[in-house]
Amino acid sequence: MDYEKIKLTFTKVHVYRDADDDGSGNWYFIAKVDGLPVGDHNQIFNAEEGRSIPLPEGQWETTINVRGRELNSNPVIVRFQVKDSDFISDEDLGTTERRLFMDMRQGYFDTRTDRNRYFRVHYKVELMVMGQFGFHPPDAVFATRQHFGSLSCTTVSGTSFMARMEICPILPIPADASLPPRPRIADHLRARNIIRHDGIEVTPNDPINVISNPSAIPILDPADANANTAARIEFTYYHPRTLHFTDDDPRLEWSIDPIQPSVPAGGLVRGDARFLGPGSTPDGRNSRGTRVLVYGTAEGEIRLEMRFQGTLFATYRALVLPVRQIRYRANILNGPGSSQPRSRPGHVRDHIAIANRFLRQMAIELVPDNDATVSNGARPTEFPGIFRIIVSRGVTREIPLGGWTRAIKLNYREGVLNIAYVHSARPTRRGRSGPLGAADSWLANGAGDRIRDTGKPSTSWIRPSGIPPDGDPVEQVMILLDAREEDPARFPRLFGMYITNQSGDPDFPGNQLTYGSTIAHELGHVLNLNHREAGGLDGLNNPPNQNIMHPDEGADLAQDFDIIQTRAVHQSRLVQP
Amino acid sequence: MRYLPLILLLMGLSLLQTRTQPQAAWSFYPKTKEVRMAQTEPSKEEQRALATEALALAKSFRPEDHSLLLQKLKSEEFLKKLDSEKAYEGSSNRLRLRYILQILSKNPSPSARSTLVALTQTPDFYKESARADLLIDACAEVRPAPPEVIKFWNDHSQPDDGFTHLTIDAVVENGSEPAIALLEKKMADMKHDEEDKLSWMRSSILTHRNDLVLLQACERMLGGSLSEDLRLSLVEVLFDYRPEWFPPSVVLKPPDRGQASPQALAQLRKIGEFALNKMNLKEDLRKKVEKTLEEIKEKR
């Protein structure tokens, strides 16, 4: 790497006294840097008092490699000697000497000779940063080295500090206590966290990729890959903030590392992907900046690597998967009188759209069932896949717990997710509110009752995460929900859930998010995911609140699905191959 | 001719009735909704003031205060001001009325009890389903449940009525002998689905399986007319517990067996021995029963 070079260029010599009694002087220069000659000392210049002698470009310059050199004890020595050529003997007009130490200042400098003040020599010092010589800001980093947990950076002005970059796969980001430890930093090296600890307000009109840092990068046709469809991967933390990284910062280089899948089950092979967008190279193999867009080209597993001036700075692991579809039917079950679901067909369509934005993190998409067969008096609405059914009050109101729900069996088709919109369900405790919804029927997962993941970084950064200074991850084992079927002979391949009015007025945008997130959560159960929380039933303990499968957390915080969950859901029998 | 005014009045009423029929066959919202929406909504401050006053009356131990509260609760105008039409569209647990009935139900004074009982005799109060929900639940605290409450509960636990699961929960929570007798009646009622009865077991009975009166009823039910499947399920609910009986988002748990009274444990032992000796239990369930009996033995 060549960023530890300096270039010194002698630019001109100003003449105070030409040392000749008659007419102008005939000067020549003997320049040495670190003892090595620079320029042509045989070249004679006409020296007129009060004027400057410009030195020809490209001849009076030298490049010095200072890599590994301890400049404070072994400085670069710059000598410049001027002589006046004479017929009898040349007169020495003096020598200037400058020592360049570690605080390698850049810019234009000059040095005057002390002797009779004959001349002043001008030169400039440039440092090579990013392969280019030039004058760089004093806080620009020109040297980086990897350390345990951080990167050691040296700035142009010679200051050294520890830098760190993170691309957290969990969004919103958990509190620091739940993340791999960060090496201590001095107060003046404050961090920059741009991504919030709160969730985002997902709406039906948002781009499908609105949630960044997904666990799955979708395989897309290059013609369909764009800023609204590709996976958005972005940094979540860096320090010090004085690095002032920008979205397309050329100092940050991304590459794709196809890795051998940690779990061969599921037929995964080495995945592959391409970057797109203005920062990416024409072949899509590299990109730059703090944020990148990626789309998949081969199913498997990959690691994105971000380098800061050539040194590995941060990594991000993801699965590369085709977007697999789940067909759904949503039935609004209208009872007599006030026993009505509050959601109308247009609301339901919006709830599904919001759920799809959460599910995109796992490369899963809900699509309307296009089969025209209906049962139980279901009547199609203006929206495909959404029906209304008139039912007795007991089917839609205060529906029971601990048994089997009639609501989810109405108008169901085998292998199609059946969503029943009902008025209410019985609360789990007297005086409490009833549930927002519940998954009620599903088949066992193709992976069995457990699924494993051993990649680095670990899924949801469960510690040891593989994020320095954490050690290498250990295998994570997630416990899956077993089948829940009332009577497979009578109701074969029934996948169902119900959604109640408990999420509130569906006309209110905040409630819309709750409805959509509830569908995503309950679908997670239908796809065999257990609850995720510290000490949760899926056996994993991170993140504390941010996973969609958290049992109690609100839709404004619980928004994440992770890699091991994604692995599992793609092996559900509900997911179209 | 002297009947002419009466005939005209009946014709007029008949016309009026025709006009209030739904105009479209496909109507999801009751006509009353439009009528209610036309009323002027009270301000939040007014609603708060009404609720504060009613709560103070509910907390009181003076019969005259409860009498005044009953008057208010019988007034449709008061109720409509207390909770808006919009509030009634949501969960009954979010109504201000809920807190008033809850406070009233926790008030041990006889007049507070009488007020709740009087509401069970006021169909205009509970014609609104959400109010019926709240009253069903509030009556769980009236012990022993008087005949009026039993009738009210019975009326609100008819097949497919949308109240039954809530009512069964209140009945079991009440736990008095008349209430548990109603539970037995419902369990024996063939008009109720077996599925529903299973859910009553796995929710209401499971969460009260330390209650002596309930356990006595369970013993009777096991020897009664329940189907074989439900009898086995009842044994399962009393001696076993599996989270997978429930959807993951709504898991119920049984009470700690260590909190059961010696009498309740003795009753459970009786049931266990009956099940082991008289019922055709699967091996797994048999082991659960035997294990529980062993645990009970240790506690004695």
Nearest CA distance, A348 vs chain B (angstrom): 16
Could you tell me how far CA B172 lies from the centroid of its own chain? Answer: 9
Interface test with A, best of B250, B251, B252, B253 (most A CBs within 10 A): B250
The answer to whether residue B61 scores a pLDDT higher than 50 is yes
CB count within 10 Å of CB A568 equals 26
A482 vs B contacts (CB less than 8 Å): 244
Q: Assign residue A446 a region (left: φ > 0; alpha: ψ between -120 and 50; beta: otherwise).
A: alpha
Place of tokens 């003040």: A117
Two tokens at A133?
């010589």
Q: Is pLDDT above 80 for A159?
A: no
With CB atoms and an 8 Å threshold, state whether A338 touches B130.
yes
pLDDT of A102 > 80? The answer is no
Do the strands A437-441 and A495-499 form a parallel or antiparallel pair, or are they unpaired?
antiparallel
Residue B150 has pLDDT above 50, yes or no: yes
Nearest residue to A412 via CA among A521, A324, A500, A491: A491
The size of the A-B interface in CB pairs under 8 A is 132
- CA B55/CA B49 separation, integer angstroms: 10
Q: Contact at 8 Å (CB) between A41 and A70?
A: no
Residues A332-381: pLDDT tens digits? 999 998 899 999 999 999 999 999 999 999 999 999 999 999 999 999 99
* Residue range(s) occupied by CATH 2.60.40.150 in chain A: 5-127
What pLDDT, on the 0 to 100 scale, is given for residue A143?
A: 73
Task: Compute CA B56 distance to the chain's CA centroid, rounded to the nearest angstrom.
Answer: 25
- Judge: B161–A393 Cβ closer than 8 Å, yes or no: yes
Contact assignment for A430 to B173 by CB distance below 8 Å: yes
- Please measure the distance between the N-terminal and C-terminal CA atoms of chain A and give it in whole angstroms: 47
State the angle between helix axes of B228-239 and B212-222 in degrees (0 to 180), rounded to the nearest 10.
150
**Cα B110 from Cα A109, distance rounded (Å):** 99
Chain A CA closest to residue B157: A394
Q: How confident is the model at residue A21 (pLDDT cuts 50, 70, 90)?
A: low
Q: What is the DSSP string of A266-304?
A: TS-EE-EEEEESTTS-TTSSEEESSEEEEEEEESEEEEE
| A501 in contact with B, Cβ within 8 Å | yes
Given CB atoms, is A432 within the 8 Å cutoff of chain B? yes
For residues A135 and A189, the answer to whether their CB atoms sit within 8 Å is no
Reading the block at residue A251, the tokens are 């100092």
| pLDDT tens for each residue of A521-546 | 999 999 999 999 988 899 998 999 99
Give the total residue count for chain A. Answer: 577
- Residues A9 and A126: beta-carbon distance below 8 Å: yes
Q: Which of A423, A404, A402, A486 has its CA nearest to residue B163?
A: A423
The helix or strand, by DSSP H or E, that contains position A154, with its residue range, turns out to be: strand A151-155
| Whole-structure pTM value | 0.81
Give residue A128's pLDDT band: very low, low, confident or very high (50, 70, 90). Answer: confident
Rounded mean pLDDT, B208-223: 97
- Amino acid code (one letter) for A559: Q
Residue intervals of chain A classified under CATH 3.40.390.10 are: 324-445+482-528
What are A238-247's pLDDT values in tens digits?
A: 888 878 899 9
Distance from CA of B255 to the nearest CA of A (A): 13
List Cα–Cα distances, A156 to A69, A123, A243, in angstroms.
Answer: 15, 18, 12
* Alpha carbons A218 and A239: distance in angstroms, whole number: 31
Please determine, for the modelled complex, whether the ipTM score is greater than 0.85. Answer: no
- In this structure, is the dihedral angle defined by the CA atoms of residues B36, B38, B39 and B44, taken in order, positive or negative? positive
Distance of CA A178 to the CA centre of its chain: 18
Which residues contact residue A104 at a Cβ distance below 8 angstroms, ignoring those fewer than 6 apart? A6, A66, A71, A125, A127, A156, A157, A158
β partners of residue A78: A33, A98
pLDDT in tens, A285-342: 999 999 999 999 999 999 999 999 889 999 999 999 999 999 999 999 999 988 999 9
Asked if B250 and A428 come within 8 Å (Cβ–Cβ), the reply is: yes
Task: Tell which residue, A356, A297, A348, has the closest CA to residue A321.
Answer: A297
Strands (E), A20-150: 25-33, 36-38, 45-47, 52-54, 61-65, 76-84, 91-100, 107-112, 119-129, 132-134, 141-146
**Count of positions (residues) in chain B:** 300
Residues 6+ apart with CB under 8 A from A522: A437, A438, A439, A497, A499, B249
State the pLDDT confidence band at A146, using cuts at 50, 70 and 90: confident
| φ, ψ (nearest 5 deg) of residue B205 | -70, -45
Chain centroid, CA A503 distance in Å: 32
Q: What are phi and psi of A155, to 5 degrees?
A: -85, 170
- DSSP three-state, residue B166: helix
Tell me the CB-side half-sphere exposure of residue A312, using CA atoms within 13 A. Answer: 12
Which of the following CATH numbers is that of domain A5-127: 2.60.40.150, 3.30.1490.20, 3.40.50.720, 3.30.2350.10?
Answer: 2.60.40.150
Determine whether A383 is exposed, middle or buried from the number of CB atoms within 10 Å of its CB (0-12, 13-18, 19+).
Answer: middle
Residue B277 or B225, more confident = B277
CATH class of the domain at A324-445+482-528: alpha beta
Tell me how far apart the alpha carbons of residues B249 and B243 are, in angstroms, rounded to a whole number: 11
What pLDDT is recorded for position A113? 65
**pLDDT at residue B40, as a whole number:** 61
For chain B, say whether A479 makes contact (Cβ under 8 Å).
Answer: no
Residues of chain B contacting A338 with CB distance shorter than 8 Å: 30, 88-89, 128-130
**Strand extents, DSSP E, A361-502:** 364-368, 379-380, 386-390, 417-421, 437-441, 450-453, 476-479, 495-499
DSSP string over A463-522: SS-SSTTS-PPPPEEEEPPPPB-S-TTTSTT-EEEEE-GGG--TTSHHHHHHHHHHHHHH
Res A269: pLDDT: 64
Residue A92, strand partner residues: A83
H or E segment at A155? strand A151-155
- Angle, vertex CA A371, rays to CA A367 and CA A373, nearest 5: 135
Closest CA to B169 of B131, B201, B127, B143: B201
Using 50, 70 and 90 to split pLDDT, how confident is the model at B32?
A: very low
Alpha-carbon distance of A74 to A70, in angstroms, equals 6
The share of chain A scoring above pLDDT 90, in percent, equals: 63
- Smallest CA–CA distance, residue B48 to chain A, in Å, is 21
Are the C-beta atoms of residues B254 and B172 closer than 8 Å to each other? no
Nearest CB among B30, B163, B166 relative to A338 is that of B30
